[in-house]
Structure 1
Amino acid sequence: MDKGKNKWAVLVGCNYPNTKYTLHGCINDVQAMRDLLVKKFGFDPKNINLLTDKPGSFILPTGANIMKALNRIVDQAQSGDVLYFHYSGHGTLIDKPFLPFSKEEAIVPIDFNLITNVDFRHLVNKLPKGVTFTVLSDSCHSGGLIDKEKEQIGPSNNHLHGDSSISCSKPKAIPYESVLTHLSSLSNINTTDIGTHLLEVFGADASLRFRLPHVELEFYKALKQDEGILLSGCQADETSADVISEKGEAFGAFSNAVQQVFKENSGPLTNAEVVSIARKILANQQFEQHPCLYCSDENAAATFLPQSATAASSST
């Protein structure tokens, strides 16, 4: 699909202020992406929902608010529409209760109401025919956020090095044990089952991953190619960096690399090209994180967020 009739975006930046998990560049990431979506990709500002934990924000990026925003754009989408979700914040790995010694990915909203790969798979499964849904996750542990997508660009052992002006960086991940401890303090229940805590604290707003019986979860697995596209900030064995440069600028390394990709390339790029070029940029900056791409073969070769003719001409 090369042209979108309508374009809708949900952009989430979580800095977790006044906590021991504080990050610095996540709000800057999504504000910069909002400008890029409008100026280069032809998004109507009214169709972009920006959720951050900036002091004074009217709607905060809690798990329920993020899912409400995502369900809204999926439910109103029609054939030809382009949907985009950009997340900059912490990720975590959670234990699979039915598969010992196995883990799966989740993002961590500010209230710790985890959003899992099951939730993203459910969103993609609901898409009308002809609608694409691109997810860019600048967080650790995000490679499997859309469950069952095919790996197009993935694990690499080539850790390249180059010049860097980075003075400080921090991994964008919260350990599973820390998430469990925090939720235990909210639920006041003595158990190592994270689902019990999430259901007690968030009820119907908890992830489908914990609300549905194991048998029903099988329903959400993809059985064929679909229109989900995932760009993840790093491989499963790596961390995504939250950075403060020598100039005092704060940003997520992957989000910033994507910004640079489009500053240096005025024409349209495929999803595979965006990830490949971002990998080279991060390698030259001495980051040992390798962004990955998960989608169908067709979408790997499709244009990243197809531009309107007006936006394309104004960006050159």
Structure 2
Amino acid sequence: MENENKKRLAVLVGCNYPNTRNELHGCINDVAAMRGTLVNRFGFDPGNIQLLTDAAAAGSSSSVMPTGANIKKALGAMVDQAKPGDVLYFHYSGHGTRIPSLKPGNPFRQDEAIVPCDFNLITDVDFRQLVNRLPKGASFTILSDSCHSGGLIDKEKEQIGPSHVTEISNTSPSVSSKPKGIPFESILHHLASLTGINTSDIATHLLELFAADASLKFRLPPFELLNMFESLNPDEGILLSGCQANETSADMTNPVMTRGKACGAFSNAVQMVLKEHEADLSNRQVVMLARQVLREQGFEQHPCLYCNDENADATFLCESHISSSL
């Protein structure tokens, strides 16, 4: 068959930050559920799915902690082994944050990052660099269930987001929920407590603590960051974000909707959409239907889609290709 030799690879990261002031409860459940969905619906080989969590999930375990270095190592290895036609998937459930832009001419702009368990931030520049390393013909889908996740692939084209869709929720969620974000000031304070350095420059702290494992955003000179991705052709990066860049995503528990099991509101919405629609869904449809679920549940977070025009209407995780090769 045409697709027999094409691989489907995944890295799934769930950070609950146990026994800390930033503790969440549903993130590991999110990636455990998605692992089952990848295997049972999308034809992923369990051996091609790497799971990184900061605690044991029900029915599974992880020996690799989701530190910044470990997450980037797993993603880099996945991208490096990809061949044309392969389908790559990264699901992140955990805290996100926004940091002041280090790019010249953008003093008031904020950039997006995810917060691994060791606070070694992975930024929009790191995800852009990973996408740029993809071989032609491979696709890389990122689903980030975290606060401020809109725009997490630097310079990716917005398809669904604040510029294209505006929706207001008229209800309040009847669930127990917590935002999946850590303010920049809190991250800075935590890092400063570890380095003992009296500065508000986050790059100084991250480089002191993590050196070559810190984000490219903090290791490259500003002029290199500015010129790094200036002329980009349409690429194969696809971002489904749990919310807009200026919004928070919820970690929730509800006796009815989730049977008392903690989960990320966006991850749960995607699971509901996939269960309710057996037919192939496009990336655009998954995001719009997830928006509808969250609106009906009373959440004021708006999932977004960032990718090229063709991938906006391509099937989520290339499902139609899978069905013809299984």
Which bin holds the TM-score, normalised by the shorter protein?
A: over 0.9
Deviation at 1:309, TM superposition (A): 6.8
* Residue 110 of structure 2 corresponds to residue 103 of structure 1: yes
Show CA shifts across 1:113-144 (max 9, x none): 00000100000111100010000000011111
Show CA shifts across 1:210-252 (max 9, x none): 1111122222345111000000001123210000112421000
* Residue 126 of structure 2 corresponds to residue 119 of structure 1: yes
For 2:153 and 2:322, how far apart are their aligned partners in 1?
A: 32
Among residues 228, 233, 258, which one is paired with 2:237 in the alignment?
Answer: 228
Deviation at 1:313, TM superposition (A): 10
> 1:171: which partner in 2?
179
> 1:38: which partner in 2?
39
Deviation at 1:27, TM superposition (A): 0.3
The number of residues matched between the two structures is 312
TM-score normalized by the length of structure 1: 0.94
Runs of 4+ with >2 A deviation: 160-164, 307-314
- Where in structure 2 are the equivalents of 1:65-144 lying within 5 Å? 65-97=70-102, 98=104, 99-144=106-151
Percentage of pairs with the same residue: 65
Cα pair 1:40 1:312 within 8 Å, conserved: no
- Where in structure 2 are the equivalents of 1:1-316 lying within 5 Å? 5-55=6-56, 57-97=62-102, 98=104, 99-155=106-162, 156-161=165-170, 166-217=174-225, 218-221=227-230, 223-246=232-255, 247-307=259-319
SS at match of 2:90: strand
Deviation at 1:152, TM superposition (A): 0.5
For 1:75 and 1:195, how far apart are their aligned partners in 2?
A: 27
For 2:87 and 2:167, how far apart are their aligned partners in 1?
A: 33
The amino acid that maps onto 1:269 is L
Question: Which region of structure 1 is more displaced relative to structure 2, 302-311 or 144-153?
Answer: 302-311
Cα pair 1:133 1:229 within 8 Å, conserved: yes
Deviation at 1:207, TM superposition (A): 0.4
Q: Label 1:304 to 1:310 Cα distance change in 2 as closer, same or farther (>3 A).
A: closer
Give unpaired runs (5+ residues) of structure 1: none
For 1:238 and 1:184, how far apart are their aligned partners in 2?
A: 26
Deviation at 1:188, TM superposition (A): 1.1
Deviation at 1:15, TM superposition (A): 0.4
Deviation at 1:57, TM superposition (A): 3.9
Cα pair 1:89 1:172 within 8 Å, conserved: yes
Q: Label 1:285 to 1:206 Cα distance change in 2 as closer, same or farther (>3 A).
A: same
Deviation at 1:180, TM superposition (A): 0.3
The amino acid that maps onto 1:113 is N
For 1:308 and 1:298, how far apart are their aligned partners in 2?
A: 15
The amino acid that maps onto 2:45 is D
SS at match of 1:83: strand
CA RMSD of aligned residues (A): 2.0
For 1:79 and 1:131, how far apart are their aligned partners in 2?
A: 5
Cα pair 2:131 2:140 within 8 Å, conserved: yes
For 1:222 and 1:28, how far apart are their aligned partners in 2?
A: 39
Cα pair 2:148 2:245 within 8 Å, conserved: yes
SS at match of 1:122: helix
Cα pair 1:42 1:308 within 8 Å, conserved: no
The amino acid that maps onto 2:71 is I
Question: Which region of structure 1 is more displaced relative to structure 2, 143-152 or 56-65?
Answer: 56-65
Deviation at 1:159, TM superposition (A): 1.7
